[in-house]
Amino acid sequence: MPPATVLLAVDDALIRWALEKDLSARGVEVCEVKTDPDALTRVCWADYGLVFLDLDPARKDGLSRIESIHESSPETKVVILGCDVDPAVKRAAFDRGVWQVVEKPFDLRDVVGLVRSVFGAYTQKRMHRRYLCRLPLRVSVLAGAPGSQVELETLSCNTVDVGPGGMRVLTGYPLQVGQLLKASVMRPGDPCAAHVPRDAVGEVIWLGTTGNGFAGGLRWLPASTPDRIS
């Protein structure tokens, strides 16, 4: 298990403050720097389990620094934070060994949950890795006899995280446990979309509420699903 230490190489002072406050309260040791060159220097002489890096599209060497961090500290997991990350950039980041790409604005609870999973805070682990992402979906609720379905063209639905075994979604529609949803990704170029099978059907296995609607956990019904990002 990696050491419970986090390096925040994040320029946004508010994000640094929020993460430092919450993670420190959970017993995670947090170090802050403002730029990723500083992060690389720190990783060379310290042992961090997790590094958060801001992704600045204006810096052509941003992704190359990820490789340098892994060369200095192979066990360190790197999380990229960015706004409107281009799918090609996201794919390049994963190719360089990035553990997660988190798009701003993000829910602090999701990022804290991500950190806790790295440091073994959960007694039960998912069988498959999950990727935080925001993918718009077109969703139909399957109902009645085989082949019969109710099309919900105006249903607003987005992923929160996704993996080979299923996904978590946010929607304004009151889902029900046991419901079967047919989902199609509206942004297929995103590398995380590779984990949503074509015309995927998922079973709702848990529900929750959010400030803007409902959250639901979907488990893919038996089908061939990708086992990696490509």
- Segment 79-101 mean pLDDT: 89
Which pLDDT band, with edges at 50, 70 and 90, does 121 fall under?
low
Condensed to tens digits (0 to 9), the pLDDT of residues 50-77 reads 999 887 655 555 677 888 888 888 888 9
Torsion angles phi and psi, residue 18, rounded to 5: -65, -45
pLDDT at 227 over 50: no
Compare 122 and 185 and report the one with higher pLDDT.
Answer: 185
Which backbone phi and psi does 111 adopt, to 5 degrees?
Answer: -70, -40
pTM: 0.82
β partners of residue 100? 79
Query: Which amino acid, residue 108?
Result: L
Structural domains in the chain, sorted by start? 5-118 (3.40.50.2300), 131-220 (2.40.10.220)
Could you tell me if 178 and 220 are in contact, meaning their C-beta atoms sit under 8 angstroms apart? no
